[in-house]
Structures are given as structure tokens and as C-alpha cells.
């Protein structure tokens, strides 16, 4: 709130009182229930993570944190609601690499600015992308898969969760870095793709690890590699792509943001509480079994990472000629 120096009397007192209330709000927060917007349907990995965070924040703050699922338009509807909220900390939103990075980088029309419309508070978790094949596929490792693909250019196909998704981007980056020719087959979500991979109708599949994980453990699918920077706790024997292709990394991450304009004391309060909770989730079996890898960051580091990733993927997607449908 800006107050003119020329305002005097009771107006000056009112202005000072309003300003003091704003700055003191970090100590008084929360004054009422908090809404945590999830821009996707209930039941997915983002929703599971949000509900774990909401439960612990409710315990921490003594006020109910309510998960508000706002699916639609690939996450745009929920993100827009979060961006338009009053910046008092009582509305937060689950943001992700797909909504803040890939959507804008693909040229998708969005009603908000991925950098200017939000206050990043902390990352919350990664959900790595895994490359799986049918057990009969003639390759045990990523290097063997690359050799097989090079002997039969254009004859193998890989499934993704859809054009412009993280799984599609990971597949196209693999083609570019490994210099192989494999055909992209986009699916509407991971369910049908998994069914076809298990049945052998599609030889390769790139998916968020939470979906194929049970089938990997049961032996119905074989994991070739993960795109995360390190091996996964749930799949310790599956190498990272970077062990074969140095520098290869595709992170699919989730975090918590507020609308732009949150005051610094409130940002410090919110981020501090979130970081403690995220660190505690590193031993949460429900979260880990879903393939989620908890990771936290300061608001400054998170904001810098968003800017860096937006620039990186805008350039790479343009070079790979991947645009929004």
C-alpha cells in the first residue's frame, strides 16, 4: 500500500495502520482456512503430493488447508486462478514444470506470465521420467537400445503421454542426443500407453515413473533408464540416462507458488514451513511408493531455476521444432 506524504490527520493514521497490518500479517497468518489449488484432477501424483502437504500444513498452522482441484486446459485454469488470487497467503497453487515451463515454451496461449504472475515458495518433489520396454525387447541397457535403433532407423516407436508433455520432450531429446530415428506415438494420458506396452503393441514407452512402476516391479515391463539426475530410491538398479549420455536430464517437478505480490515476511514464513514439511516427506512411504522424490528449495533458488528452465526449454523446443497442438 502506497501512502502520500501529504496525507495528514485521520487519513494518515488509517494509512499507517493498514501498512502495519500488512507487514504484521506474517505473524498473524493464517487468519482463516488456506486454499491449495491443484490444477489437475484428483487421484494423480500432483493431487497426492498436495494432500500430503495440506495435511501437514494444517497441523503446523492450526487452520484447515483445503485442496481445491481445478483441472482443465492442461493446468492453465488452476494456475490462472492462483495468479489472480489476493496476495495474502491464503491461496496457494501447485505449480509444475509442465504448467510453468513446457506450456509457455511450446507457445501455448496462457493468461498469466510464468515468471511475473507468481511468487515461488519452494519446490516440493520430482517425478522422474522412465523409459520402459516389453521384456521381449532386444536390449537390456540404454546403450544397447541406441545400437538396436540405429540398425533399424524409423522402425521402432515410442509412446508418450501426449504431444508437448514432458515424456514427449524426453523422447525427442533422446532422439537428438543419441542420433537415433524412432517414431513418436502420442497417447491421451499414460493408462492406454501402459496397456499397449505390456501387450507388446508399442515397443518403447516414456512415462512418469509413478504409472509404470508397479508393472516394472512385477516384471511385466523392463526399465531401461531414468531421466533424473540420480538413480531412484524405488529403482536403484536402473541407471540414469546421463550414465550413458552425459548431461542428459529431463526433470518433471512440482512446487508451491503464491500469487505475485506476497510480502517478504510472509514469503519467508510460508517457504520456511514448506521446506521443513518437504524434507520430512523424504521418509514418507506413500509419497515414495508413488515415485515422487521430495526436493525443497529457497524462494530465491526456485525463482532463478524457473527462469533458467524457461529459457533453456524455449530454445530447445524451438530447435527440435516442437510446438503446441
**Could you tell me the pTM of the whole model?**
0.84
Looking at residue 163, its pLDDT comes to: 82
Give me the pLDDT at residue 116, please: 96
| Residue of 174, 181, 208 lying closest to 194 (CA atoms) | 208
pLDDT tens per residue, the chain (325 residues)?
A: 444 433 444 444 444 444 444 444 577 899 999 999 999 888 888 899 999 999 999 999 999 999 999 998 888 999 999 999 999 999 999 999 988 999 999 988 899 999 999 999 999 999 889 999 999 999 999 999 999 999 999 999 999 988 888 899 999 999 999 999 999 999 876 678 899 999 999 999 999 888 899 999 999 999 999 999 889 888 999 999 999 999 999 989 999 999 999 999 999 999 999 999 999 998 888 898 888 999 999 999 999 999 999 999 999 999 988 887 6
The per-residue pLDDT for 6 is 39
Residue 61 contacts residue 4 (beta carbons within 8 Å): no
Q: What is the dihedral of CA 158, 160, 166, 169, to 10 degrees?
A: 40
> What's the pLDDT score for residue 295?
94
Q: What single string gives the DSSP state of each residue in 49-116? A: HHHHHHHHHHHHHSS-EEEEE---GGGHHHHHHHHHS-SSSSEEEEEEHIIIIIHHHTT---SS-TTT
**Helix %, strand %, coil % of the chain (to 5):** 45, 20, 35
Assess if CATH 3.30.1540.10 describes domain 129-243: no
Query: What is the rounded CA–CA span in Å between residue 69 and residue 41?
Result: 6
Specify whether the backbone of 43 is left (phi greater than 0), alpha (psi in -120 to 50) or beta: left
Residue 203 has what DSSP assignment? S
pLDDT at 25: 55
Kindly report the number of other CB atoms within 10 A of residue 50's CB atom.
27
Q: Where are the domains of the chain?
A: 32-126+253-319, 129-243
Cα-trace Rg, the chain:
22
pLDDT of residue 325: 65
Instruction: At 185, give phi and psi (nearest 5°).
Output: -120, 100
Rounded to an integer, what distance in angstroms lies between the CA atom of residue 90 and that of residue 254? 19
Assess if CATH 3.40.190.10 describes domain 32-126+253-319. Answer: no
Q: Is there a shared CATH topology between the 32-126+253-319 domain and the 129-243 domain?
A: yes
Q: Give the cell for residue 262.
A: 506476497
* Cell numbers linked to 95: 505449480
The pLDDT value recorded for residue 18 is 43
- 37's enclosing H/E stretch is strand 34-38
Q: What is the pLDDT of residue 164?
A: 82
Instruction: Give yes or no for a contact between 11 and 3, defined as CB atoms under 8 angstroms apart.
Output: no
Amino acid at each position: 500500500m502506497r501512502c502520500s506524504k501529504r496525507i495528514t490527520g485521520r487519513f494518515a493514521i488509517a494509512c499507517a495502520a493498514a501498512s502495519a497490518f500488512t507487514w504484521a500479517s506474517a505473524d498473524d497468518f493464517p487468519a482463516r482456512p488456506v486454499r491449495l489449488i491443484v490444477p489437475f484432477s484428483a487421484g494423480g501424483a500432483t493431487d497426492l503430493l498436495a494432500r500430503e502437504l495440506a495435511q501437514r500444513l494444517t497441523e503446523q498452522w492450526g487452520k484447515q488447508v483445503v485442496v481445491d482441484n481445478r483441472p482443465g486446459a492442461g493446468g492453465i485454469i488452476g494456475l490462472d486462478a492462483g495468479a489472480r488470487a489476493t496476495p495474502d497467503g491464503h491461496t496457494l497453487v501447485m505449480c509444475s514444470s509442465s504448467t510453468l515451463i513446457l506450456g509457455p515454451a511450446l507457445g501455448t496461449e496462457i493468461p498469466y506470465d510464468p515468471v511475473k504472475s507468481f511468487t515461488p515458495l519452494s519446490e516440493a518433489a520430482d517425478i522422474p521420467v522412465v523409459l520402459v520396454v516389453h521384456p521381449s525387447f532386444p536390449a537390456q541397457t540404454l546403450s544397447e537400445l541406441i545400437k538396436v535403433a540405429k540398425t533399424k532407423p524409423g522402425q521402432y516407436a515410442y509412446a508418450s503421454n501426449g504431444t508437448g508433455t514432458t515424456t514427449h520432450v524426453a523422447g525427442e531429446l533422446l532422439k537428438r542426443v543419441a542420433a537415433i530415428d524412432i517414431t513418436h506415438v502420442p497417447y491421451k494420458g499414460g493408462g492406454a500407453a501402459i496397456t499397449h506396452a505390456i501387450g507388446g503393441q508399442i515397443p518403447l514407452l516414456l512415462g512418469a515413473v509413478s504409472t509404470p512402476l508397479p508393472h516394472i516391479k512385477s516384471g511385466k515391463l523392463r526399465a531401461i533408464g531414468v531421466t533424473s539426475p540420480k538413480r531412484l530410491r524405488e529403482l536403484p538398479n536402473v541407471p540414469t540416462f546421463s550414465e550413458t549420455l552425459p548431461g542428459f536430464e529431463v526433470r518433471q517437478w512440482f512446487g508451491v507458488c503464491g500469487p505475485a505480490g506476497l510480502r517478504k515476511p510472509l514469503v519467508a514464513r510460508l517457504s520456511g514451513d514448506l521446506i521443513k514439511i518437504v524434507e520430512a516427506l523424504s521418509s514418507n512411504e506413500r509419497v515414495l511408493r508413488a515415485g515422487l522424490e521430495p526436493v525443497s528449495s529457497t524462494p530465491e533458488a526456485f525463482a532463478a531455476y524457473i527462469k533458467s528452465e524457461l529459457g533453456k526449454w524455449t530454445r530447445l523446443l524451438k530447435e527440435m521444432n516442437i510446438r503446441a497442438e
